[in-house]
Amino acid sequence: MKFSINWLKDYVDIALSPQELADVVLLHSLEIEGVETKGDDTYFDVALLPNRFPDAANYIGFAREISAVTGGDFKAGHIFKKGKKLNTATNFSVRVENKEDCARYSGLLMPGVEVKDSPIWLKERLEANGLRAINNIVDATNYVMLELGQPLHAFDYEKLDKGIIVRRARDKEEMITLDGREVELTNEDVVVADHKQILAIAGVKGGKVAEITGATKTILLEAANFDPDRVVRTTRRIGFTTDASQRFKYGIDPNMTEIALYRVAELIQKIGGGGMGGFLDAYPNRVVPKVIAFSVKQYEKLVGEPIAPREAREIFRKLRWVIKKATKEVLWLEVPAWRRDVERFEDVVEEVVRLYGYDTLESKTLKGVSLHARRDDQLHYVRKIKERMAGFGFDEIYSYSFIPEAWQEVCGEGTLVQLENPISTEYHYLRPSLIFPLFRALESNVKFFGDIKMFEVGNVFSRERKEEGIIERTKLAGMITRENGGDSLFYELKGIINELFRVCGVEQVEYRLHKELWHGVFIPSKTADVYVNGVYVGYVGFISSRWLGRFDVAHDVVAFEFDLNTFFPLTQREQAFIPFSKYPEVMRDISFVVDVGVRIDELEKVVYQAASELLIDIDLFDMFEGERLGAGKKSLSFHLTFRSDNKTLTSEEVTSDLTKIIVALRDRFSIEIR
């Protein structure tokens, strides 16, 4: 949010240069992201966190902070002093149907106003803060909103019927906003209406029906306190936000409505005439300042350094907090209602420390027993996996846990976990798989890169049936795509998976025929289920062309996903070191023709069963299918590696094992040696 130094000087004495002031505020209060000079004025770009938005997202609130951290005289105190008590309007009423939707609704009638252009100074201040000047009445409400943080609205009183009603909209009830948008509302939206029609979307935008025009003579000024959650839901659903909705989003002190009405009425009288008529106020549950006990002993225990009661009193004076009662060690503080973020003793301590200065606290060595954290095996293996994946050239991604409603058709009706309060109209569900966000990342990157390797470790959410609870699991998923990748992508990824398992102490890995998953996302004939020690842990395979087309991906893509909650108990916590053999390996190649339907893992299993313990590795290095082999046939070539740990193998010993392997393969699969 931007703040003008010249405007701030109306409310606080500033003796420092803009840069010096920015440094002091940054050290003790709020984050200053930038300092910019335009003409004879300087502007601060302030990053406001949600907890400070209610009190500091306005000029007087920021001036109050400057006064507290610099000691400059705060000159805006008179604004908070109420003027003469106004008479309650007798021929006009206000009714709030649900006090949860609107904590307070205040209104002030002003007859005899003259609608015209605003003075130059007012236009310049609004435009410097990103608001367009409209007319003196509307501009006055926007000016006071920037000044006090309380959104205001002005209605043409002559266009209203009998009174104001704050209510829920009816389903499909429509309204045209001031900027000409036609909005369809639901019964989840709060509106301000009269006895005939909707006047405004509460906390968001005014409507056309009671718009201020050049013919307006009597106005009704509105200052309300609408429920933040309702305002946020409405803005998300209708698809736009306003300066008012941004302020209601974080909550506002309900006591500010009356102060803001007096302030804007005084300003309108100066620039547009008129008088103050009847006052309307619906305030069922009055908010009073909190009283919090501040103990200097508890402060020392929490911070590690003592503070004198005199120093604490001075800090509270700078904060403009009232000390209601005091003893030698305890101060009972009345925390202003506009400091909604200060709720307990620890919050008060934070205020004291930031004004006292974090840089003034002495660094001390912690006292006590240092306890070593227990080893988290799952965290250990996740770190191992991430390091190894990065070593294989993969990029790690971090994605949202939310997916759009379109994925419902893939996962099956009722299996997705729906959010009660989605962050946007697009993201309604929690992800049941990491494959979905990987698709999104692939779609974004494939336009710029031909060779992509990426992975993610994260939690997924599902439920088998609607009546069951939410199941949360940790998974690992990855994807590879490359121009002209072909079948080699699968074997490349399979090799990576085997290496990952080896690092985690897993040796018995089995690839079996895949059962269809995610309704056609994968090609069943080119996808395998992965088992470790006979337990299903995940799958690996090619993405179907139909799904690749949905994401404008033209190249082959191979993906995998494993359930780490299932996988980790199958890993070996401790791995024994086996010394390298002093004796050489002997490698023999074997090539043969076999039926297309025979799986590689079945062949490998028979080879290991037929050979002696001298066979230490089998590796497929070539596969071919063609007309010259005959229909339904394929040619396979393997490297077979033999080794003994206590002697150099002879040719006869290796040949003996190779003969046994060939015989076993012929008996089981009717192979033809090439």
* CA pair distance 349, 300, nearest whole angstrom: 10
Q: Band of the pLDDT at 84, cuts 50, 70, 90?
A: low
3-class DSSP state of 149:
coil
- Partners of residue 472 on adjacent β-strands: 461
Nearest to 638 by CA among 601, 596, 597, 595: 601
Lowest mean pLDDT among 54-68, 78-92, 273-287: 78-92
pLDDT of residue 607: 94
pLDDT of residue 187: 93
In the chain, the amino acid numbered 223 is: A
Q: List pLDDT tens digits, range 220-257.
A: 999 999 999 999 999 999 988 999 999 999 999 999 99
Nearest to 392 by CA among 313, 488, 494, 284: 494
Q: What is the dihedral of CA 381, 387, 393, 397, to 10 degrees?
A: 80
Cα Rg of the chain (Å, integer):
36
Q: What token pair was written down for 601?
A: 């893992």
Q: Does the pLDDT value for residue 491 go beyond 70?
A: yes
pLDDT of residue 519: 65
- The domain locations on the chain are 2-80, 93-282, 302-356, 377-570, 586-673
Nearest to 233 by CA among 250, 251, 249: 249
Q: Does the pLDDT value for residue 409 go beyond 80?
A: no
3-class DSSP state of 4:
strand
Q: What token pair was written down for 35?
A: 């300092």
Architecture in CATH of 302-356: 2-Layer Sandwich (3.30)
Per DSSP bridges, beta strands 279-282 and 102-110 are antiparallel
**Residue 617 vs residues 101, 642, 663: alpha-carbon distances, Å:** 71, 7, 19
Q: Tokens 């500091």 correspond to what residue? A: 56
The sign of the CA dihedral 491, 493, 497, 503 is positive
pLDDT of residue 508: 80
CATH topology of domain 2-80: Phenylalanyl-tRNA Synthetase; Chain B, domain 1 (3.30.56)
DSSP state of 196: S
The mean per-residue pLDDT over the stretch 151-170 comes to 94
Query: In what helix (H) or strand (E) does residue 387 lie, and over which residues does it extend?
Result: helix 377-391
Lowest mean pLDDT among 104-108, 423-427, 474-478: 423-427
Q: Does the pLDDT value for residue 393 go beyond 60?
A: yes
CA-based end-to-end distance of the chain: 77
Interior angle at CA 183, CA 180 and CA 187, nearest 5: 150
3-class DSSP state of 231:
helix
Q: Does the pLDDT value for residue 518 go beyond 90?
A: no
pLDDT of residue 316: 95
Q: Does the pLDDT value for residue 466 go beyond 80?
A: no
Q: Does the pLDDT value for residue 427 go beyond 90?
A: no
* CA pair distance 525, 162, nearest whole angstrom: 73
Q: Tokens 């350094």 correspond to what residue? A: 305
Lowest mean pLDDT among 165-179, 272-286, 483-497: 483-497
Q: Band of the pLDDT at 260, cuts 50, 70, 90?
A: very high
* CA pair distance 102, 398, nearest whole angstrom: 39
Query: In what helix (H) or strand (E) does residue 7 lie, and over which residues does it extend?
Result: helix 5-8
Query: In what helix (H) or strand (E) does residue 276 lie, and over which residues does it extend?
Result: none
pLDDT of residue 571: 82
Q: List pLDDT tens digits, range 575-602.
A: 667 788 889 999 999 999 999 888 888 8
Q: Tokens 């494939």 correspond to what residue? A: 446
Average pLDDT, the chain: 89
| CATH for 93-282, options being 3.30.70.890, 3.40.50.2300, 3.40.190.10, 3.50.40.10 | 3.50.40.10
pLDDT of residue 249: 92
The mean per-residue pLDDT over the stretch 501-506 comes to 84
* CA pair distance 30, 8, nearest whole angstrom: 15
Q: Three-state SS across 367-378? A: CCCCCCCCCCHH
Burial 160-196 (b: 16+ CB within 10 A, else e): beebbbbbbbeeebebebbeeeebebeeebbbbbbee
Q: List pLDDT tens digits, range 605-627.
A: 899 999 999 999 898 888 888 88
Lowest mean pLDDT among 241-255, 430-444, 567-581: 567-581
| CATH for 377-570, options being 3.30.930.10, 3.40.50.80, 3.40.50.720, 3.30.310.160 | 3.30.930.10
pLDDT of residue 588: 94
| Domain 2-80 shares a fold with domain 302-356 | yes
Q: List pLDDT tens digits, range 339-353.
A: 999 999 999 999 999
Q: CATH top-level class for 586-673?
A: alpha beta
> Where do the H-state alpha helices sit in 396-554?
408-411, 435-445, 488-503, 545-550
* CA pair distance 466, 464, nearest whole angstrom: 7
Is 0.85 surpassed by the pTM of this model? Answer: no
Q: Band of the pLDDT at 553, cuts 50, 70, 90?
A: confident
Q: 219 and 137 in contact (C-beta within 8 Å)?
A: yes
Share of the chain above pLDDT 90, in %: 64
> Where do the H-state alpha helices sit in 446-554?
488-503, 545-550
Q: What token pair was written down for 259?
A: 């102060």
Q: What token pair was written down for 172?
A: 């499909």
Q: What token pair was written down for 443?
A: 């779609």
The mean per-residue pLDDT over the stretch 198-202 comes to 96
* CA pair distance 51, 53, nearest whole angstrom: 6
Q: Does the pLDDT value for residue 1 go beyond 70?
A: yes
Query: In what helix (H) or strand (E) does residue 541 lie, and over which residues does it extend?
Result: strand 535-543
